[in-house]
Amino acid sequence: MLDTPPSSAVPHPLPRPLILGSTSRYRRELLQRLRLPFEVLSPQVDETPAAGEAPADLAVRLALAKARAVAAQSPDAVVIGSDQVADLAGEPIGKPGDHARAVTQLRRMSGRAVVFQTAVAVVCRAIGFEQVQRVPVTVRFRTLDDAEIEHYLRAEQPYDCAGSAKSEGLGIALLSAIESDDPTALIGLPLIKTCELLRAAGVPLLGAGAGS
């Protein structure tokens, strides 16, 4: 599957193919902001946490595992892998998958701070490049009543989102604060860190030979 930049963009040639190792539509839409041609491949990685694994460590391990898995299939490409784990007092909170689990998650997070651990990795086997960065985002939830939770979930159905809320949509009404130095990290891909890693891997972001 090949993603091309919007028609208004003028794509510049890349030294190597660029691949997003993720099937997340949110990450794909974020990466499109950089106006680079890229391919999307599924990394086929087991995302089961290891016993006692901290959410931050899990996010880093899975981001790197996803990038490595796709890079093994396409060794000449620059591959991006990313993962996000919601951290509630040290407990990983995943995607709810259905309404009932989402209700449970939001009730537990009501009035509390949740750290969304988002990690991004870039791997290119051909040049021996492999780096990973983690971006924590602290999200403070308002004290929510059941009517608010029900209204929100019926309206947005965020069952494919860790933590059961979409900050880029109506989910912002559930929150009292977001604290991060990389604003797109909460949506699923920290673009500031992604750009940093791509430049380090030799990918020109603002024209051939562009610097920082």
Q: What SS3 string covers 28-80?
A: HHHHHHHCCCEEECCCCCCCCCCCCCCHHHHHHHHHHHHHHHHHHHCCCCEEE
- Whole-number Å distance between alpha carbons of 87 and 81: 20
DSSP state of 166: -
Active site includes 87?
no
What are the residues facing 130 on neighbouring strands? 123
78-88 and 18-20 strand pairing: parallel
**How many of the other CB atoms lie within 10 Å of CB of 115?**
18
CA neighbor of 41 nearest in space, from 87, 76, 73: 73
Tokens of 75: 């060794």
Catalytic residue, from 3, 83, 87, 98: name it: 83
- Whole-number Å distance between alpha carbons of 9 and 169: 26
Rounded to 5°, the CA angle 171-121-20 comes to 75
Catalytic residue numbers, as ranges? 83
